[in-house]
Amino acid sequence: MQFRVGYKKHKNKSLFLWPISDNMKNTPFTERHLALGAKMAPFAGYNMPISYTSINEEHNCVRNNAGVFDVSHMGEFILKGPNALDLIQRVTTNEASKLTDGKAQYSCLPNENGGIVDDLLVYCVEYNKVYMLVVNASNIEKDWNWISKHNTNDVEMHNISDKTALLAVQGPKAVEYMQRLTDMDITNLKYYTFTKGVFAGVENVLVSATGYTGAGGVEIYFDSADGAADKIWEAIFATGTPDGLKPIGLAARDTLRLEKSFCLYGNDIDDTTNPLEAGLGWITKFTKDFTARPILEQIKANGVTRKMVGLVMVDRGIPRHGHVIQDADGKEIGVITSGTQSPSMGKAIGMGYVAKEHAAEGTEVYLNIRDKAVKAQVVKMPFM
């Protein structure tokens, strides 16, 4: 899913936060973030919390206990009607026909050249009648226009992004804490399934087991109107805070997803990358017709020319988006798309594309960091 870090390193190595703009949108929880002292920054047109304390502290809270992310900036579309499934099948790469009521699926929207318009989640609310698509915040308008362009059979479409709130409660203790607030059985929700019902006294809440941290937990979707946002926020923290539940910013969300090698739209995948080279062949099903299927079939038959790989630093240094990857002779063989100092592993890790002949596990490569060749090694993903 999408995240672009909302801060940058200043020359004095301190964090420089972008000023809040009056033109930015707020989520239903913005005032709560400010009251909690969150460091805020613009992201995808919204004022979003980057961190409340430190990235490491928040990261470890999610890995070991549970934390709450406000991801209400994400986009949600409802597709209805007898041709809804057909439309989804034609614009996504995964096999959506396998979805039954209460199941969800990770997929992507390919463009005419086989690149990726966006990656997304497909929720089957009612088979062949009602679906919810969850898209990246920065791509809401882009995705809406792309899907609408292919809607040739009068599928009823609704963009409910602005009225939908979304809280991701992630971590090994998250489900235990959230079960206290509902009679829905979320304890036994299997990965990529969901249920709907009353949560914290609010009706028609969708709770899914589709997180972006690899730490377990749930994502909670609901209409933010009529005080529902305040009611659910207060209930979640009232039940979880005594046990260590904390609010978590988007910076820790990025380190968490990277440790699990989850792709980030705009960094690891975009309109110029295809799902096969990005390691997303598992969501590219040639059992149906979809946009650019012949192109992707040809790429599969010929073999990709580059591959997404995981890297662990051997020498001291942290891989960053845009760092050039070189071989031992200094020849450019690829580029870093995401990188960080892993709080859980205590190592610098990164993801990036390299020419396929350099993609084997154990291959030594070098990153050009400040004009210095810094050694790294190709490793199996996920990192942990």
pLDDT tens readout for residues 301-312: 999 999 999 999
In this structure, what DSSP letter does residue 214 have?
A: S
Residues 24-33 pLDDT 10s:
899 999 999 9
pLDDT at residue number 21: 52
Does residue 317 lie in a domain region? yes
Supply the CATH number for residue 310's domain.
Answer: 2.40.30.110
Contact status, residue 307 vs residue 353, Cβ threshold 8 Å: yes
- Rounded CA-CA distance 187/181 in Å is 12
Does residue 311 lie in a domain region? yes
What is the arithmetic mean of pLDDT over 208-212? 96
What is the arithmetic mean of pLDDT over 362-379? 97
Query: What's the token pair of residue 44?
Result: 């995808």
The helix or strand, by DSSP H or E, that contains position 87, with its residue range, turns out to be helix 84-91
Contact status, residue 108 vs residue 118, Cβ threshold 8 Å: yes
In this structure, what DSSP letter does residue 19 have?
A: P
Please, what's the b/e burial string for 219-240 (b: 16 or more CB within 10 A of its CB; e: otherwise)? bbbbebeeebbeebbebbbebb
- How many domains does the chain contain in total? 1
In this structure, what DSSP letter does residue 283 have?
A: G
Does residue 55 lie in a domain region? no
What is the arithmetic mean of pLDDT over 190-205? 98
Whether the model pTM is above 0.85: yes
pLDDT at residue number 23: 79
What is the arithmetic mean of pLDDT over 47-55? 97
Does residue 13 lie in a domain region? no
In this structure, what DSSP letter does residue 241 have?
A: G
The helix or strand, by DSSP H or E, that contains position 91, with its residue range, turns out to be helix 84-91
Does residue 346 lie in a domain region? yes
Per DSSP, the three-state class of 29 is coil
Does residue 373 lie in a domain region? yes
- H-type alpha helices, 137-270: 140-149, 174-179, 228-240, 250-259
User: Mean pLDDT of all residues in the chain?
Assistant: 94
The helix or strand, by DSSP H or E, that contains position 35, with its residue range, turns out to be helix 30-35
- Rounded CA-CA distance 309/355 in Å is 10
Amino acid symbol at 320:
R
- Rounded CA-CA distance 250/70 in Å is 8
Does residue 147 lie in a domain region? no
Beta bridge partners of residue 193, listed in sequence order:
103
Does residue 339 lie in a domain region? yes
What is the arithmetic mean of pLDDT over 62-82? 98
Q: Domain of 353?
A: 305-379
Band of residue 129 on the pLDDT scale cut at 50, 70, 90: very high
**CB 357: neighbour CB atoms within 10 A?**
12
Q: Which of 106, 240, 120 is nearest to 169 (CA)?
A: 240
Per DSSP, the three-state class of 144 is helix
Residues 97-109 pLDDT 10s:
999 999 999 999 9
Per DSSP, the three-state class of 16 is strand
Q: Which of 341, 322, 317, 318 is nearest to 332 (CA)?
A: 322
